[in-house]
Amino acid sequence: MLETLTNSTMERWLLYLLIVGFTAAIFTSCGKDNYDAPSAKLTGKVTYNGQPVGVRGSNQSVRLQLWQDGFALRTPIDVYVTQDGSFSSMLFDGTYKLITVSGTGPWSHSSDTVVVQVNGNTEIGFPVRPYFALSGISYTLEGTDLTATLTVDQIDQTRSIEDISLLVGDTKFVDLGHFTKQQKATLKENGTLTIRMNVEEQLANNSALFARVAVKINGITEAVYDSETKKIK
Amino acid sequence: MNKFCKYIFLITAVVTAGCSKFLERESQSILPEEQVYSDEKMVLAVLANYYGRMDWGQHLGDPGSFALLDEAAFSSGGPNNMQNYGDELWRVYDYTLIRNLNEFVRGVKGSSLSDNIKNNYEGEARFIRAWVYFTMLKGLGGIPIVGDEVFEYTSGMDPASLQFPRSTEQASYEYIIAECDAITDLLSADRNINSARANKWVALALKARAALYAASIAKYNSKTPDVKTAGAEVGIPASEAARFYQIAYDAALQIVNESPYSLYNKNADKGRNFYEAVSSKTSDEVIWARDYIYPGQTHGFTNNVVASSVRGDIDANIVTPILNLVEDFEYINDRNGALKLTDSEGNFIYYNNPADVFANKDPRLYGTVIYSGADFGGTAITYQAGIRYLEGGEWRTRTGVPGEAASPYGIVTGQDGPTTSNDQYVNKTGFNIRKFVDENRDASTRGRGSDMWFVRFRYAEFLMIAAEAALELNKAQDEILGYINRLRERAGIQPLTVVTLQDIMQERRVEFAFENHRFWDVKRWRVAHELWNGQDTPTATHYALFPYKVYAPETEYHNKWVFEKRKASHTLYPRYFRYQNYYNFIDQGWINSNPKLVRNPYQ
């Protein structure tokens, strides 16, 4: 009888000790190894002459970099650009430098840096010099024939056009990696041109259809796109 | 009391005596350096460890690595949604191994072994070191070259003296070539068991290959003018091309003319002959291989890629060849290797037997790929995707799960597929790999594994390097034809009458399929971004071949076969090689610990 009593008292004592110990461990560790998450949101748009530049948004293809001075180790923060030319990044307040990365966007690399002062949520415009600018883009669907008209202006003389194409896809994310049909223009010149494509099969098979034009540039992986996709069905 | 003192004295004596002996005994499990380097068997064991630490790029321990290019595709389970090549693909940065090798060289030099043996070990270790540098260089461009010193860090010293900047890409290649030169005289010129160890010819082989890579980068990096760094860590001036081609040419010819290796040509059956040349350890063509041995050193390649009907375990078809590769094999008398599937009006061509569509293909196809109607280890393998039958005057197809039969057709879908389902271990492309696949059925079990070797250098490569270097050096066509036609004659196909770089690319593609050449070849020629442009083009898209058996009694087509070329269902995206894939990215962690490292282009 006495023995049982002693045992159960001891067990209870051990249990209390465990509870107190664990609670203490949980609360102390919480305070020590957690840092505040970055809370300031930097948003912006890649622009040329105030107009957004359309790019490939999928695949983390198009990228800018943020650098911050004053620390021992310099690690860039990659900022990915979405297909309408916008980008965003969660940061700590501070002074950053935003730059282009050579070859990872349809614009010429500039050694000029844009200094960004992040103080709470911040919005900026990031002007670039694309190799080509698109304007006057329109899409018309007559029956099953899709026609796109666009004007291509060469901005930077260092690169030429690889091809100009009209793409359709079944989601609003359309680019040279994601499309269901492509029609390349016969011309590879500046100026206004028209591309026609029969989309009968695509109209029949998809519940929605989106169109977009792209100008692929020689010598780099990227292309300039319409900054918006147009819903045609 | 006196007695008690005696006891204390006695116990103290025992304890202290025991203590001194216990603490001073030698470890039974740790060998100090001077013990290792005093015994040749132990030196060999240390060296063997280094040979086992070099499985990089495409290799048999990683069957998936063969599905990333345009040779094969993932077949088992659901579709593969790889969209582009990673910035770290096949990236190697192994300075731990470099340090270990430097320790080994220091240890061997200070050992009591005879000079002859010392030299050979030193040569082998320095060869492995050159191979490690070469592997890093292929992926990263110029790399830090740290020499022979074994560095020590003591607390408080300035780490800057341990931080080496990247050498230029050219200087890195020069270093490898110079190392190969320095060790050819240290190394034995004899063959060794299963060609598992480095000898003089292996060092020469690395020299030839490294010089060829450097030469073609120098010549063709003008095609990718942005793939360069300001300090030439990436990029070699075009003026260096001829000199590097000459080095490659001389080294390759030395192997071709003087080495104890030759083109394997012992089996009159040309297809079998090619299989044996690469995938049999009796081959006298192989100069250096990653050797395996059962029991102990085995891999799961056979287990993973074997065809369903000859498997020894549940696994099969993880990676299967694609039609692109099959069609790149020429016909014996026709350089266009495209299979004749439809006539000029687009109607199917009917074949009596499944193998008839492959009649007169380059016999190397048999040695590389299992196609419908071919055998594996004595078992005939027939791929059948479904039945094609007439209903109401219209052709229809019916498919099932592998092995399914239905009246009145008989077998609907063959045991070996292909299908478009998401089932595991089921073929999706209509072919299986034969090269490096063990015909011993036990080798395809999980428990045992296969001890098939993986060939790194073989005689045929040096004929091809001689031909390519000779072509780039504008030597006479007759000479170039002499090298490449020896290979084509051994293969059993018509000789060429004129050679262009395109022919060299074509020949290397089929001769060295699955041998870890393709990726590095298309990179050094700077054609990878054109071949694998991420678009729906014939070279970037994976294709499969679906054979159908015809069920149409009372017609002339009954029981014949038709073949459908279709996009591989389980490769969702075309292969997409971006300019930034020409060189791996430098890891941020490496830069943090060595700020002298320069970033690669696009990074």
Lowest mean pLDDT segment, chosen from A41-55, A89-103, B4-18, B182-196: B4-18
> Residue B365 pLDDT more than 90?
yes
Whether residues A149 and A121 fall in one domain: no
pLDDT tens for B378-408 read 999 999 999 999 988 899 999 999 999 998 8
Per-residue pLDDT tens over the stretch A106-163: 998 877 788 999 999 999 999 999 999 999 999 999 999 999 999 999 998 889 999 9
Residues A79 and A108 in one domain: yes
Q: Are residues A162 and A226 in the same domain?
A: yes
- Amino acid present at B150: V
Domain B38-56+92-152+161-291+458-531+579-593 maps to which CATH number in 1.25.40.390, 3.40.50.1010, 1.20.58.100, 3.20.20.80? 1.25.40.390
At residue A233, the pLDDT reads 85
What is the C-alpha separation between B146 and B95, in angstroms, rounded? 9
**What is the C-alpha separation between A85 and B208, in angstroms, rounded?**
48
Judge contact between B317 and B417, C-beta under 8 A. yes
CATH value at residue A160? 2.60.40.2060
pLDDT at A1: 46
Asked whether residue B155 carries a pLDDT value surpassing 80, the answer given is: yes
Cβ neighbourhood burial of A5 (10 Å; 0-12, 13-18, 19+): exposed
Of A59, A219, A220, the CB nearest to B84: A59
What pLDDT is recorded for position B554?
Answer: 87
CA distance B243 to B42: 42
Residue A26 included in any domain:
no
Domain contains A35: no
Cβ contact A177–B603 (<8 Å)? no
Label each residue of B510-579 as H, E or C.
HHCCCCCCHHHHHHHCCCHHHHCECCCCCCCCCEEEEEEEEECCCCCCCCCEEEEEEECCCECCCCECCH
How many Å lie between the alpha carbon of A76 and the closest alpha carbon of chain B? 9
Would you state the structure tokens that stand for residue B557, as one six-digit string? 């087509």
Please list, in sequence order, all residues whose beta carbon lies within 8 angstroms of the beta carbon of residue B367, skipping any fewer than 6 positions away. B271, B272, B273, B274, B275, B276, B277, B278, B279, B434, B435
Q: Examine residue A177 and state whether it is found in any structural domain, yes or no.
A: yes
d(CA B95, CA B163): 12
In this prediction, residues B286-293 reach a mean pLDDT of 96
Same domain, A136 and A168: yes
d(C-alpha B392, C-alpha B384), whole Å = 24
Q: Is residue A200 part of a domain?
A: yes
**A149 and A219 within one domain:** yes
User: Which residue range is the domain that position A177 belongs to?
Assistant: 132-231
Total Cβ atoms within 10 A of residue B512: 20
Alpha-carbon dihedral B454, B458, B460, B465, rounded to 10 degrees? 110
Helix (H, G, I), strand (E, B) or coil at A65: strand
Query: Can you give the residue ranges of every domain in chain B?
Result: 38-56+92-152+161-291+458-531+579-593, 300-452+542-567
More confident residue, A73 or B457: B457
Question: A101 to chain B, minimum CA–CA distance in Å?
Answer: 6
Q: Distance (Å, rounded) from C-alpha B575 to C-alpha A177?
A: 10
For chain A, say whether B225 makes contact (Cβ under 8 Å). Answer: yes
User: For residues B130 and B159, is the Cβ–Cβ distance under 8 A?
Assistant: no
Question: Could you tell me if residue A17 is inside a domain?
Answer: no
Q: How distant is the Cα of A17 from the closest Cα of chain B, in angstroms?
A: 40
The mean-pLDDT minimum among A114-118, B32-36, B491-495, B596-600 falls in B32-36
How would residue B19 be classed by pLDDT, with cut points 50, 70 and 90? low
Nearest by CB to B580, from A75, A103, A176: name it.
A103
The pLDDT of residue B89: 95
d(CA B511, CA B501): 15
pLDDT tens, residue by residue, B165-220: 999 999 999 999 999 999 999 999 999 999 999 999 999 999 999 999 999 999 99
Residues in chain B: 603
| For chain B, the helix, strand and coil percentages under 3-state DSSP, each to the nearest 5 | 40, 10, 45
| DSSP code per residue over B10-33 | HHHHHHHHHHHHHHHSPPSS---H
* Closest among A52, A65, A74, A68 to A99, alpha carbons compared: A65
B529/A221 Cβ within 8 A? yes
Segment A47-53 mean pLDDT: 91
pLDDT tier at A30, thresholds 50, 70, 90: low
Residues 76-95 of B with CB under 8 A from A: 83-84
| Residue A110 counted as domain residue | yes
Could you give the residue ranges of the DSSP H alpha helices within B85-198?
Answer: 95-109, 115-140, 169-184
* CB contact B536 to A (< 8 Å): yes
A103/B573 CB distance under 8 A: no
Co-location of A119 and A87 in the same domain: yes
Q: How confident is the model at residue B566 (pLDDT cuts 50, 70, 90)?
A: very high
For residues B225-235, give the mean pLDDT: 93
Does a structural domain hold residue A159? Answer: yes
CA distance B141 to chain A (A): 18
Specify whether the CB–CB gap between B292 and B314 falls below 8 A: no
Q: What pLDDT, on the 0 to 100 scale, is given for residue B514?
A: 97
Q: Which of residues 566-595 of B touch A (CB under 8 A)?
A: 573, 576, 578-580, 588, 592
DSSP B419-430: --S--TT--SSS
Measured over all CA atoms, what is the biggest interatomic distance in chain B, rounded to whole angstroms? 120
Nearest by CB: B579 against A176, A182, A221: A221
Contacts 24+ apart (CB under 8 A), B396-405: B397/B548, B402/B308, B402/B426, B402/B427
Average pLDDT on B124-133 reads 97
End position of a domain, from candidates A127, A148, A182: A127
How many structural domains comprise chain A? 2
In terms of C-beta density within 10 A (0-12 exposed, 13-18 middle, 19 or more buried), how is residue B410 classed? Answer: exposed
Question: What pLDDT, in 10s, does the model give residues B499-518?
Answer: 999 999 999 999 999 999 99
Note whether A56 and A109 are same-domain residues: yes
User: Is the same domain home to A146 and A213?
Assistant: yes
Q: Both A96 and A154 in a single domain?
A: no
Angle, CA B260 vertex, CA B258 and CA B266 arms, to 5°: 125
Q: What is the pLDDT of residue A37?
A: 86
Q: What is the spatial distance between Cα B421 and Cα B428, in angstroms, rounded to a whole number?
A: 8
Q: Which chain A residues in 170-189 lie under 8 Å from chain B, judged by CB atoms? A: 176-177, 182
Q: What is the pLDDT of residue B144?
A: 97
Pick from B319, B328, B371: which is nearest to B538 by CA? B328
Task: Note if the bond before B408 is cis, omega within 30 degrees.
Answer: yes
Same domain, A92 and A168: no
pLDDT at B7 over 80: no
Residues of B in contact with A101 (CB under 8 A): 602-603
Q: Indicate if A94 and A112 belong to the same structural domain.
A: yes
Query: What distance in Å separates the CA atoms of residue A6 and residue A14, rounded to the nearest whole number?
Result: 12
Per the CB < 8 A criterion, the answer to whether A100 and A110 are in contact is: yes
Domain edge (last residue) among A83, A109, A127: A127
- For B163, the 3-state DSSP assignment is coil
Q: Cis (ω within 30 of 0) for the bond into A130?
A: no
Task: Write down how long chain A is.
Answer: 233
Helix (H) or strand (E) holding A193: strand A191-198
Is 70 exceeded by the pLDDT of residue A8?
A: no
How confident is the prediction for chain B on average, in pLDDT? 93
Rounded distance, CA A73 to CA B595, Å?
Answer: 8
Phi-psi group of B410: left, alpha or beta (phi > 0 → left; psi -120 to 50 → alpha; rest → beta)? left
Q: What is the mean pLDDT of residues A61-88?
A: 90
Q: Does B376 touch chain A (CB under 8 A)?
A: no
A100 is a domain residue: yes
What pLDDT does B34 receive? 83
Nearest to A101 among B83, B534, B602 (CB): B602
User: Which residues from chain A sit within 8 angstroms of residue B601, using beta carbons?
Assistant: 102-103
Q: Which of A127, A155, A189 is the last residue of a domain?
A: A127
DSSP state of A55: -
Asked if pLDDT for residue A75 goes beyond 90, the answer is no
**Same domain assignment for residues A166 and A193:** yes
Kindly tell me if the per-residue pLDDT of B260 is higher than 50.
yes
> In Å, how far from its chain's centre is CA B358?
26
